[in-house]
Structure 1
Amino acid sequence: MATLVLGTVGRALLGPVGGAIGALIGNRVDHAVLGSPGRQGPRLAELSVQTSTYGTQMPAIFGTMRVAGPVIWATDLIEARGTTGGGKGRPGTESYSYSANFAVALSGRAIRRVGRIWADGRLLRGAAGDFKVATGFRLHPGTEDQAVDPLIASVEGPRASAFRGIAYAVFEGLALAEFGNRIPQLTFEVEADAGPLSCEAIAQSLSPGVRPGNGGTMVAGFAASGGSVRAVLAMLADMSGGQWVAEGDGLRLSVPPGEAAARMIRDEGMAAQGAGRRGQRAIAADASLPASVTIAHYDPARDYQIGMQRASCPGGVRDERRDLAAALDATTARTMAQDRLARLAAERVRRTVTLGPDALAIAPGTVVAIDGEPGRWRVIEAAWEAMAVRLTCVPIGHAGPIQPASPGRIARDDDRAVGATRLIAFELPPLDDQPLAGPRLSVVAAGGPGWRQAGLSYSLDDGASWIALGGTAMPGLIGRLVSAVPGGGAALLDRRGALVVALAGDLADADTAAIDAGGNLAWLGGELLQFERAEPLGDGHWRLTRLRRGLRGTEAMIGGAKPGDPFVLIDAASMRLVDLPPTMVGRTVRVLAHGVGDGIDGVQTLAAVTGQSVRPPAPVHWRCMRGADGRVTIGWTRRSRIGWRWIDRVDAPLGEEAERYRLTIGAREEEVSVPGWIGTAPDGTRVTVRQIGTWAESPPLIGIIGGEME
């Protein structure tokens, strides 16, 4: 700062008078060369936008702030691959999930701790230090002797940097599935100092030349950055409604009204030509005032997001906005805006005073009393001209009353601990018209209020080896059966039956159009069903009525579920699909979920592969008659695992490579290629008919010769 430099040189050459003259000249140089100091301070965007640009300035954090620092180190993303979907003649879809290792710089000075962390605006780490997504995390506080991070050392070897003097955080294996398989925009609640700080205390930390004064405004946090230390000091003075005053070889923050008048001055009328010209008074027009002052700041009540407070007055023609890289409460910010309006209104008056050489010690920022003028005045400019000192002064206004202000509403994530994953894997009949090339499992996962996602793997050899499936889909709606009232079967709408289920979530009614489109589809104990009415009973219990039972060939499972059996609402967005080889029919698959709250071993479940997803439904409509020749004619109707909507109203598509049936007639077994058989057998003989599918046989149709179906 030229004022300090030239003042020091002047004192060294000419003593105190020379120091005063040098300070006056330096003040003129500061304004002419450096311009307005307030325009070089830190901007709000610097703290809220995460970048990795080389040379990005690192702010020094004071108090508590929410910052988004630059990425200073990263490896390539770590890829995990899984396969989902597929069908007959169609390959499965390979899905990829990623995790990341990287480091983010947080502060250019040492910090105490990091509190909450947000990723893309959502809470990633709670106030208790618990992460909502799987990751490793280490904090390096920015000391001058901090060690190299072990992960960075393992990757970079001898060239690894410890980033001493810079506080930074390292993420190891951050799961990216929730963020679109990319590194999210991260912001951190950084605590550098305990408790609020005064603007003066911050200035003393930044510059050894700052002397103790009256403290200035208290802030919860501040981020020091910008073009120069001078720019930051100017912002701190402006926030306090004061000005820096030269004191000895340093600076002191002068903040009225606590600043007492140092001396009484009298206008001596010393002009450049020696004539007795008195000082002048000038008053700027009302139009020179802003119509409003808006203070943009970081508000602790808004999770340190940007807040706005505005004060206005009539008569102005422009709006003034000031971006402060400081954490302030709403009331302090509004008071600051009101005080600035009052200060600007008062400073419309300019008083020029001409004094003799004995006034050389009066520096800009000094509070004086002017003989013949009411109130106190602040010197804003001092000049040495023709062996006289010319001071430009403005009156000191009175701060208005403090008026409480509201920070506004904020949509805040619930900071809830992540519980264990609830996992279920089951086999469904095909829900579309694409026949599968092998059995398929549907995996649905959910958890408590803080649960988001977990990584999935499955094993075909009882846990000896595992196949990565990627992350879980959207959280599913998983409940349990509480009780059931028996009703009708699969042929008609069941108006008598009712199911009571318990689950953590909401259900809704569905009209006929929604039911026809597949709405309110659920899986219960191997049965597919739909419900039109969902009546809340309280405490997470729901009564489901107007049921469509045994859908897509699951009629044999009607009534098979027992209280406590799982209930799952079928939603494509919440299911991860696992396509298995045909050889897995009749075996079990072990599925593993590994979420944040699942511990080291994760959560496992076993799923029986019955072939329900690839076998045709059981034939229906048993027919049997004996002819005059004594021969028996048996008939049935084929069904298909696809084409359930029966669009052509003629026949269901075959859905298999060939039409074949296996008949067990008493002790005999035969195979036919049409839905019928003619032969000899006595009345009372039990007949079992199974359709032979491409990958598995259907459930049986059982009838009695000379009788009805069993």
Structure 2
Amino acid sequence: MATLVLTAVGTIFGGPMGAAIGAMIGQQIDQNVLFKPKNRQGPRLGDLAVQTSSYGSPIPVLFGTMRVAGTVIWATDLREERTRSGGGKGRPKATNYSYSASFAVALSARAIIGVRRIWADGKLLRGAGGDFKTATGFRVHAGGEGQAADPLIAAAEGIGGTPAYRGMAYAVFEDFQLADYGNRIPSLTFEVEADPAPVPISTIADVLSDGAVGGTLSRRLGGYAASGDSVRGAIETLARAAPLSLSDAGDRLELVAEDAPVLTIAASELGAAAGGAGAAARDERSTSTLVAPGEIALSYYEPARDYQAGLHRARRPGNGRRVERIELPAALDAGEAKAMAEANLARGLTGRVQRTARLSWRHLGIAPSQIVAIDGVPGLWRVAEAEVERMAVALTLVRHRGGSITLMPPAEPGRPAPQPDLIHGPTVIQAFELPELGEALASAPRIMTAAAGSSAGWRGAALAVSHDAGFSWEDRGSTAAPATMGAAVTALAPGDTLCFDDIGAVEIALLNSGMQLADADDARLTAGANLALLGNELIQFGSAEPIGVGRYRLRRLLRGRRGTEFAVADHSPGERFILIEPQTLAMIDIPASMIGGEMLTMASGVGDDVAVQRAVPIIGSSVRPPSPVALDAIPDSDGGYRLTWIRRSRLGWRWVDSIDAPLGEEKELYRITVLRGGAVVRVTESEVSEFDYPAAAIAADSAGESAVTILVAQVGAFAPSCPAAIVIPTD
């Protein structure tokens, strides 16, 4: 800086007096040549809000803790992955595409301590606990001088073409999953910690100017982001907002606070003139209040509102209408911002009054920004200019408000709207085979998966299946939306499947407090509302009574829905509970040859240290007809029985025409099995819904036992139904 250079030159050639004169000349060069104002020099709030990737974009120098957007400095092309799903009757096969990208974002042109939270398109991507809401690899290079090149960038670009970016902090995302952001790299902002405690303003100035500007000020900022096209602009923005002044300390400039030490000038020392002659001691003048700003508008960042831009206005009564705007890229609370705005307003008003004082050459040491008091003159004065002419010093003084900035009464920052910081947590997955829930026939067996998390922040997981006991895995995209699921606290007693069960009740504990259950009236139940899988039974519930956080008591039940009456009497505490909603179920079609086997499902989310597996037996529930009903044994005259039953269909559950249910299978066929003491003694088939069991056959099958059990199952295109059973006496 010219001031520092000419101060040093003046000292060499003229001693202390030469140093003072040199400093004054240097200040004029600084103000009018080197640091002549441009259209834009200092940092602005908008510089930190939008992520850029343009060549030459400024990278801020960060202090304290700030939220910044950063600059993309490297990126790969999008990586595409394909998975296939669907198929079968009414469900065409679909190819699903997912995309990921790897990229690096520059954060600060100065070393940092670390990164806290991260937002993507304004939504929380990384929480305060370090957990990510979307799957990605992540690491931070803090910007130290020993920083090594990032291994991912080096692998892609070659070690010889990969800079280490020493002295610059940056973050690297590896295989960032883009599905949540429209398959594009989202706009990211980072909460960066460059100094865990508030930073003195003088320290900020010292670092930015490489020691040319400093001081011992105690005033601190929670965070500051220096950018723009000059160091002077960044420091001037700080000094203007604080407000502070710059003073020449000989070898550097120092920031001077409003409450700097006061130099008192005796009345007898006034009146010197050029050449040593007498002159008027002083004169005072005041400009119109119209010159002073009538309003100060200070914009800044508020940590209490996740570093959203804040604005505080300070207004004065009177006829001043000029609005002065100050953009300070600093982290302030509302009270600090209000105090700064009020201080700037007061400084502008008192600064209208100016005075000239002429002193002898003995006062060459008085420099601009120094605070003085004059005997006999009320108030304090700040030296705006000091001019030396023929052994006399002429001071231009501006009235000074005095005192330090005091915090104003608490200011209201506005209602914060923070993004919920919910931990993703581990994945809980359930896999099961259910009867077809729609009105169309399934043409192949189908497994359903429902997944959620023990934390309300769980969003999804990658899904894979294995048909060979885990030797190989097939990617199936991702899980569906989080399901409402949990476990039974009590065991549901057996109940009637033909009408409402108003006696039975079951208590349910849901996985997390963000899940809820609701009542449904009879009309909604008839339409299919509140369908749930409890153990292996499909139920519907009309009443969901809250009995604690995440706990409900379910009443007014419809039991054994969609042919699951076989599980009505098979309940126990701890069994699974899943609310059946199409949008929360991932459908997996499997070959019919797997009926009788087992499939493994595997889910892996961002909160899972180890992938979660679940085995599901494939018994054909999704493609087999429901069991026959109304099985009856009618005695005939010769001691035999005629067995009759009513078939049901997996097509047309709602029975809209009140006639016969459609067959829903390739042909009508039933398998009749006779058991004696649990052992199979006869198997036969019938193409109609009845079977004659003559006395001779009964005698042969019973072998002297008092009764036999007869099972009747409908034979479907893929698998037989669950059997209906009846015991008939043989004696």
Which of these residues, 406, 420, 429, is aligned with residue 426 of structure 2?
A: 420
Q: Which residue of 1 aligns with 2:616?
A: 607
Mean alpha-carbon deviation: is it higher for 309-318 or for 4-13?
4-13
Contact 1:269–1:279 (Cα < 8 Å) also in 2:
no
Contact 1:9–1:22 (Cα < 8 Å) also in 2:
no
Letter in 2 for 1:582: A
Q: 1:240 to 1:699 in 2, by over 3 A?
A: same
What is the CA–CA distance in structure 1 between the aligned matches of 2:98 and 2:264, rounded to whole Å? 69
Q: 1:383 to 1:669 in 2, by over 3 A?
A: farther
Is 1:342 the counterpart of 2:346 in the alignment?
Answer: yes
Q: Which residue of 2 aligns with 1:501?
A: 508
Letter in 1 for 2:540: Q
What is the CA–CA distance in structure 2 between the aligned matches of 1:320 and 1:18, rounded to whole Å? 34
5 Å matches for 1:96-175?
Answer: 96-157=97-158, 158-175=160-177
Contact 1:487–1:498 (Cα < 8 Å) also in 2:
no
5 Å matches for 1:506-517?
Answer: 506-517=516-527
Contact 1:487–1:495 (Cα < 8 Å) also in 2:
no
Q: Cα distance, 1:53 vs. partner?
A: 2.2
What is the CA–CA distance in structure 2 between the aligned matches of 1:550 and 1:128, rounded to whole Å? 45
Which of these residues, 326, 334, 347, is aligned with residue 322 of structure 1?
A: 326
- Any idea what SS the aligned residue of 1:317 has? coil
Q: Cα distance, 1:544 vs. partner?
A: 0.7
What is the CA–CA distance in structure 2 between the aligned matches of 1:262 and 1:644, rounded to whole Å? 100
Letter in 2 for 1:495: D
Q: Which residue of 1 aligns with 2:448?
A: 442
Q: Which residue of 1 aligns with 2:678?
A: none
What is the CA–CA distance in structure 1 between the aligned matches of 2:279 and 2:369, rounded to whole Å? 28
- Any idea what SS the aligned residue of 1:335 has? helix
Is 1:696 the counterpart of 2:719 in the alignment?
Answer: yes
Q: Cα distance, 1:301 vs. partner?
A: 3.7
Contact 1:684–1:705 (Cα < 8 Å) also in 2:
no
Q: Which residue of 1 aligns with 2:471?
A: 464
What is the CA–CA distance in structure 1 between the aligned matches of 2:697 and 2:390, rounded to whole Å? 133
Contact 1:509–1:534 (Cα < 8 Å) also in 2:
yes
What is the CA–CA distance in structure 1 between the aligned matches of 2:407 and 2:321, rounded to whole Å? 25
Q: Which residue of 1 aligns with 2:335?
A: 331
Give percent identity, aligned residues only: 47
Q: 1:72 to 1:560 in 2, by over 3 A?
A: same
Mean alpha-carbon deviation: is it higher for 614-623 or for 454-463?
614-623
Which of these residues, 407, 431, 437, is aligned with residue 402 of structure 1?
A: 407
5 Å matches for 1:133-532?
Answer: 133-157=134-158, 158-215=160-217, 217-261=219-263, 266=270, 279=283, 281-285=285-289, 288-291=292-295, 293-315=296-318, 316-317=320-321, 319-351=323-355, 364-369=368-373, 373-380=377-384, 392-399=396-403, 401-403=406-408, 404-412=410-418, 419-449=425-455, 451-486=458-493, 488-503=495-510, 504=512, 505-532=515-542
What is the CA–CA distance in structure 1 between the aligned matches of 2:573 and 2:35, rounded to whole Å? 84
Query: What TM-score, normalized by structure 1, do the two folds share?
Result: 0.86
Q: Cα distance, 1:156 vs. partner?
A: 1.2
What is the CA–CA distance in structure 2 between the aligned matches of 1:446 and 1:125, rounded to whole Å? 19
What is the CA–CA distance in structure 2 between the aligned matches of 1:352 and 1:511, rounded to whole Å? 88
Letter in 1 for 2:111: A
Is 1:670 the counterpart of 2:672 in the alignment?
Answer: no
Mean alpha-carbon deviation: is it higher for 476-485 or for 174-183?
174-183
Mean alpha-carbon deviation: is it higher for 550-559 or for 511-520?
511-520
Q: 1:118 to 1:35 in 2, by over 3 A?
A: closer
What is the CA–CA distance in structure 2 between the aligned matches of 1:211 and 1:105, rounded to whole Å? 27
Is 1:537 the counterpart of 2:547 in the alignment?
Answer: yes
What is the CA–CA distance in structure 1 between the aligned matches of 2:20 and 2:505, rounded to whole Å? 99
The number of aligned residues is: 697
What is the CA–CA distance in structure 2 between the aligned matches of 1:642 and 1:179, rounded to whole Å? 40
Q: Cα distance, 1:466 vs. partner?
A: 0.6
Contact 2:290–2:322 (Cα < 8 Å) also in 1:
no
Q: 1:320 to 1:495 in 2, by over 3 A?
A: farther
Contact 2:59–2:227 (Cα < 8 Å) also in 1:
yes
| Alpha-carbon displacement from aligned partner over 1:448-471 (angstroms, at most 9, x marks no partner) | 225443322111111000111233
Q: Cα distance, 1:33 vs. partner?
A: 4.0
Contact 1:196–1:218 (Cα < 8 Å) also in 2:
yes
Unmatched 5+ residue regions in structure 2? 675-681, 699-708
Unmatched 5+ residue regions in structure 1? none
Q: Cα distance, 1:348 vs. partner?
A: 3.0
Q: Which residue of 1 aligns with 2:702?
A: none
Q: Please, what is the CA RMSD of the aligned residues?
A: 3.9
Mean alpha-carbon deviation: is it higher for 352-361 or for 317-326?
352-361
Letter in 2 for 1:697: P
- Any idea what SS the aligned residue of 1:152 has? helix
Is 1:580 the counterpart of 2:590 in the alignment?
Answer: yes
- Any idea what SS the aligned residue of 1:484 has? coil
5 Å matches for 1:20-59?
Answer: 22-23=25-26, 25-26=28-29, 29=32, 33-35=36-38, 40-59=41-60
Q: 1:323 to 1:212 in 2, by over 3 A?
A: closer
Contact 1:24–1:383 (Cα < 8 Å) also in 2:
no
Q: Cα distance, 1:48 vs. partner?
A: 2.9
Q: Which residue of 1 aligns with 2:703?
A: none
Q: Cα distance, 1:502 vs. partner?
A: 2.0
What is the CA–CA distance in structure 2 between the aligned matches of 1:242 and 1:355, rounded to whole Å? 26
What is the CA–CA distance in structure 2 between the aligned matches of 1:497 and 1:268, rounded to whole Å? 106
Which of these residues, 628, 634, 647, is aligned with residue 619 of structure 1?
A: 628
What is the CA–CA distance in structure 2 between the aligned matches of 1:371 and 1:24, rounded to whole Å? 28
Which of these residues, 576, 588, 595, is aligned with residue 605 of structure 2?
A: 595
Mean alpha-carbon deviation: is it higher for 113-122 or for 214-223?
113-122
- Any idea what SS the aligned residue of 2:622 has? coil
What is the CA–CA distance in structure 2 between the aligned matches of 1:497 and 1:531, rounded to whole Å? 11
